Structure 1
Amino acid sequence: MIPLLKEVGRGKRGARDLTYEESLYAADQILNQKATPAQVGAFFIAERIKMESVEEIEAFVHVCRNAAYREYEHGGIDLAGPYDGRKKSFFATFASAFVLAAAGLPVTLHGMASLPPKWGITLHDLLTEIGIRPSSLEKDTIVGAAKETGVLYVPAEQWCPPLLELRPIREQLGMRTVLNSAEKLIDYGSSPFLVFGVYHNTVFDRLSRLMSKLAYRRALIVQGTEGSEDLHIDRPTRTYVVEDGTASLQVVDPETWGLDTPVPEVAWTPASQIRTAEAVLKGDGELGFFHQVLLNSAYRLHLAEKVDSVEEGLYACKAALDSGGAWNAYEQWRNALLH
């Protein structure tokens, strides 16, 4: 590791990006606990200062994938949000998963207990709030619930053990690392479609090239709420659609479909997140949050080629909510993981 640390640790001007082969070696050393804690921390900090290259992130993704349990081919769409959670925004993607499942599109969600730098509310917290202990779930139980309902939830640190081993170092550093991107791209369910959240639009170009290298059929990179994969409902959202090796900028404006709606400021807790999600799934609740779930679901249904237009997706997703299908999918999934 020392020669590689010298290359990435020469400062902002002197550091160079590693080749893909060098990056694979570094990822193997770090994820398989061959490097010392000091070397791991130094590498993460040096990469943070330099900024990770496409090849470096790709290498960490592949080593993570090799270390992870990925035998179950769920297909459908992977909703890849930030593992450091949220503090100020509604988890529209959670409710959206059951709308999509009710509309016939398998969904993969994944996450872990909160991490730096945000230390926000995570999907793990939402599951815990409804009585599920995600870190204690057996793989057979998780896969069984996915087959029954169309929603796969993966506790990432259990399905990719190196992530659990590296948690103490990440907590001590208190900043984002290359893993904050790589862990969201492990693709536990072999999904051809991906929705990936980013915080800054400056990473659009690099990540669009990465999505092409990872061979997703179609990927949507979203500059969403708090860096999440959720489209805004009160203003336009910048996105990149990546398909066949090319990326195109698309600004998604909810006003196009008459859905632009202000959303109230909420002091979010896991309990209030669940109450709001359940209200939406019952076809009730605050209109802004209902519209946000509807728009995100419709856009994802179109991305995954289940409908020919976003408008058609809106009709399909509204029907899934109005008929009770989305709520039934949620109840069925929750009960399957509770037993």
Structure 2
Amino acid sequence: MEFAPLIKEIGRGTRGARDLDEAQAEALFGAMLDRAVPELELGAILLSMRIKGESAAELAGFWRAMQARTARVEIAPATGPRCVLLPTFNGARKQANLMPLVARLLARAGVPVLIFGRHDFDSRISPFELLAALGLAPAATPEQASERLARERLAILPLAALNPGLDALMALRPRLGVRNSGHSVAKLLDAAPGRSVRVVAVTHPEYLDSMGQALLAQSAAGHRGLLMRASEGEAYAHLRRKAQLYGFIDGQRLDLHPADTTDLDWPLSPDCEPAANARLIEAMLDGREPLPPRIAEQVMALRRLAED
């Protein structure tokens, strides 16, 4: 595959760059995931896409390439609720990470949950350290994750076990200094097509549009999802902001947040160290601490998408 002609198209800056078509994007991202792009050209591609931004066609092509290389996790029984896929790529910075609370509440209600991701931020608390403090260890393989889902309704997988090429691409962030297209498309990863509900949590408002377009198209082929604003980059609802919960199912977008949603004056816990964070989650689970309304709304929306 010749990379220079593609770099010439996408590397002309925000005004002069041209978008790739879906087939070109799929072939290029596939080569990136297969580690078939030399380092110099790979760096040029990643930074060019970072400056230009992914078009809808490029994101669709990238997603197809990613899905073709993603391991599948079996969700049993076939007639039960869909599995909620909770990605974790950031970790806590200033406030408690309540992503595991969402997972535990869903599992307690009978909805299987697969947490997957990776961590490489020195300035943030690893979500995997938090999960360990809660007594939750990652599975080693997709098959082991399937067994845990059937038995316990909750499993954790490192991204490397699902898509090694994508994990390697995202691992370039510390070296390059910025995120790349792998971080964008990873939000859309579906390890259980037809049996999942993906949680796509975005930080920047413009991603509500681009991810919403992608989810709408994918939902027509049976890939369900919940699009929402992230908290510190993690897949749980911000406790104070008005809810933004958009469900995607069968080619339709559904507003799943309350119609009268407004900002809330809700305390944000600074307990982001793993042990303290875990104690807070356990206290919310057993009723010693109140359950934040935004978390309850997110869980309700996910149950609707998983159980319908």
**TM-score normalised by length of structure 2:** 0.85
Match of 2:282 in 1: 278
Q: Letter of the aligned partner of 1:264 in structure 2?
A: L
Please identify which structure carries the higher helix content. Answer: 1
C-alpha contact 2:120 2:174 (8 A) present in aligned 1: no
C-alpha contact 2:14 2:52 (8 A) present in aligned 1: yes
C-alpha contact 1:37 1:169 (8 A) present in aligned 2: no
C-alpha contact 1:224 1:237 (8 A) present in aligned 2: no
C-alpha contact 2:73 2:145 (8 A) present in aligned 1: no
Match of 1:83 in 2: 89
C-alpha contact 2:102 2:236 (8 A) present in aligned 1: no
Shift of 1:290: 4.6
Match of 1:62 in 2: 64
Please give the secondary structure, in 2, of the residue aligned with 1:237.
coil
1:237 aligns with 2:243: yes
Shift of 1:66: 1.9
Please give the secondary structure, in 1, of the residue aligned with 2:232.
helix
Q: Letter of the aligned partner of 2:160 in structure 1?
A: E
Please give the secondary structure, in 2, of the residue aligned with 1:57.
helix
C-alpha contact 2:100 2:131 (8 A) present in aligned 1: no
Please give the secondary structure, in 2, of the residue aligned with 1:219.
strand
C-alpha contact 1:60 1:182 (8 A) present in aligned 2: yes
Match of 2:23 among 9, 21, 24: 21
Match of 1:160 among 163, 167, 172: 163
Please give the secondary structure, in 2, of the residue aligned with 1:303.
helix
Match of 1:112 in 2: 118
1:217-239 CA-partner distances (Å, limit 9, x unpaired): 54221113224332233231234
Q: Letter of the aligned partner of 1:171 in structure 2?
A: P
- CA–CA distance in structure 2, aligned partners of residues 154 and 262 of structure 1: 32
Match of 1:32 among 16, 19, 34: 34
Shift of 1:42: 1.3
1:21-58 CA-partner distances (Å, limit 9, x unpaired): 11011102211111011211211111111111122222
Please give the secondary structure, in 1, of the residue aligned with 2:156.
strand
C-alpha contact 1:82 1:197 (8 A) present in aligned 2: no
Change in 2 beyond 3 A, CA 1:261/1:284: farther
- CA–CA distance in structure 1, aligned partners of residues 259 and 274 of structure 2: 28
1:123 aligns with 2:127: yes
- Matches for 1:314-325 after TM superposition, within 5 Å: none
1:272-299 CA-partner distances (Å, limit 9, x unpaired): 22121122222223x3x55443332222
1:189-238 CA-partner distances (Å, limit 9, x unpaired): 33342221011221222211111232345422111322433223323123
Match of 1:51 in 2: 53
RMSD (Å), alpha carbons: 2.8
Give aligned pairs, total: 299
Shift of 1:174: 2.0
- CA–CA distance in structure 2, aligned partners of residues 254 and 91 of structure 1: 26
Which sits farther off after the overlay, 187-196 or 96-105? Answer: 187-196
Change in 2 beyond 3 A, CA 1:138/1:219: closer
Match of 2:175 in 1: 172
Shift of 1:187: 1.3
1:34-87 CA-partner distances (Å, limit 9, x unpaired): 101121121111111111112222222222222222152356143444512331
Match of 1:5 among 4, 7, 15: 7
- CA–CA distance in structure 2, aligned partners of residues 140 and 220 of structure 1: 25
C-alpha contact 1:76 1:106 (8 A) present in aligned 2: yes
- CA–CA distance in structure 2, aligned partners of residues 168 and 295 of structure 1: 33
Match of 1:141 in 2: 144
C-alpha contact 1:89 1:268 (8 A) present in aligned 2: yes
C-alpha contact 1:240 1:250 (8 A) present in aligned 2: yes
- CA–CA distance in structure 1, aligned partners of residues 240 and 260 of structure 2: 7
Please give the secondary structure, in 1, of the residue aligned with 2:144.
helix
Change in 2 beyond 3 A, CA 1:127/1:254: farther
1:301 aligns with 2:295: no
- CA–CA distance in structure 2, aligned partners of residues 253 and 228 of structure 1: 24
Q: Letter of the aligned partner of 2:282 in structure 1?
A: E
Please give the secondary structure, in 1, of the residue aligned with 2:283.
helix
Shift of 1:110: 1.0
Percent sequence identity over matched residues?
25
- Matches for 1:207-246 after TM superposition, within 5 Å: 207-215=211-219, 216=222, 218-246=224-252
Structure 1: any 5+ residue segments left out of the alignment?
307-339
Change in 2 beyond 3 A, CA 1:153/1:254: farther
